[in-house]
Amino acid sequence: MMGISGEFSFLDMVNSATRGKTGVSTKDYTEIWLSPYEVKEAPKNTRQEYKNIDALADAFLLVGQEQPTVLARVNGEYRIVDGHRRNRANILLIERGNEQFNKVRYFYKDMTENMYELSLLAGNGFTQDLTSYEKTELAGRLKKVLEKMRETEEIEIKGTIRDIIGNYIGEKPTQMARIEKINNGLKGEAKEQFREGNMGISAAYETAKLPEEEQKKIAEKVASQEGIKAKEIAALVKERKEAEKQNKKAEEFAKQAEKSLKEARKSEIGAAQASLHAERAAENADQSAGMIIGMNPPIMSDSDTVENGEQTPEEIKQETIFTLQQLLIQAGKITYNELLVLQDILMNCNNRGE
């Protein structure tokens, strides 16, 4: 596993002593002679255009090519890591009839897709004076590949990825935050205007804060004769934020009003339910009172008794019912011994019925 520290180090891929000459150390690379047509340019290189190829070709023809192009062999395919302009100059010389350039000297190393991308970006960062757009793209691509390589455990990263990239491309944390905002937020036509150099990094940063539809309007102004400055875009962003703030307050007020209305309705329902409970309690009280009144023992006349002075069976039944009703009311006060007596009575009644 390759280590990458937060204090600016790409280890095997980058040699700080070569800054200004080549972004890639050729240590552990193998020398090989190939046709310039056999090697492929990076599918997406940070540098958007290649200038002064004619002059470079003339220099090669005059003094030779001192610095070989550096390649990565990825899945058997030779891809340029560092030296796109040099390889184009070689091809131009072949097209002009200079057969000695049919085979030229290269250095190559086997790499994974991720390692190739990282090596390519490392070379771009060292050897070129990048535009604001190109530096922003470089930072975005570095972030993606470093995150991938951390996930696949191809490298071990010490420190934050943002700080590593910031140290590498020479930008402070505040500027790195702006670059990240541009990479994450700038869309469509606005991004194209930034790429073309018609929009500076400050304007791009402010535009990235707006929705895509509004970014399109900004891009149209940038492309037109009117133009628009970063300060004007910042004012638009501020105005929009203030409008969003007011809308948010209005939404919160509406939610609070709705909540209050629900609570008021809940209180009304609670009051209605309480009133209903009270009415039912009163009705139950009246019914209980009537029951108790109805439970008074029947008044026995002298004619209801038998000759020996004992009560008739009907009289005993009525008094038993009354007594049991009273016991139900006092059930919570009955002791265990009294319960046993009642159970004996019940058993005797059951036996007597058989």
286-303 pLDDT, tens digit each = 555 555 445 555 554 545
Triad 215, 216, 221: Cα angle to 5°: 95
* Band of pLDDT at residue 49, cut at 50, 70 and 90: low
Q: What is the mean pLDDT of residues 16-26?
A: 43
Angle between helices 161-169 and 132-151 (to 10 degrees): 140
Tell me the whole-structure pTM to 2 decimals: 0.56
Q: Where are the alpha helices (DSSP H) in 128-229?
A: 132-151, 161-169, 173-185, 188-195, 201-207, 212-223
What is the C-alpha separation between 162 and 137, in angstroms, rounded? 14
Indicate the SS3 state at residue 307.
coil
More confident residue, 206 or 248: 206
Largest CA distance in the chain: 156
**227-243 residue pLDDT tens:** 777 788 888 788 877 77
What is the C-alpha separation between 221 and 198, in angstroms, rounded? 11
pLDDT at 59 over 90: yes
The average confidence (pLDDT) of the chain is: 80
Distances (CA, A) of 2 to 142, 155, 352: 16, 4, 100
Could you say which architecture CATH assigns to the domain 2-185? Alpha-Beta Complex (3.90)
Domain boundaries, the chain: 2-185, 311-353
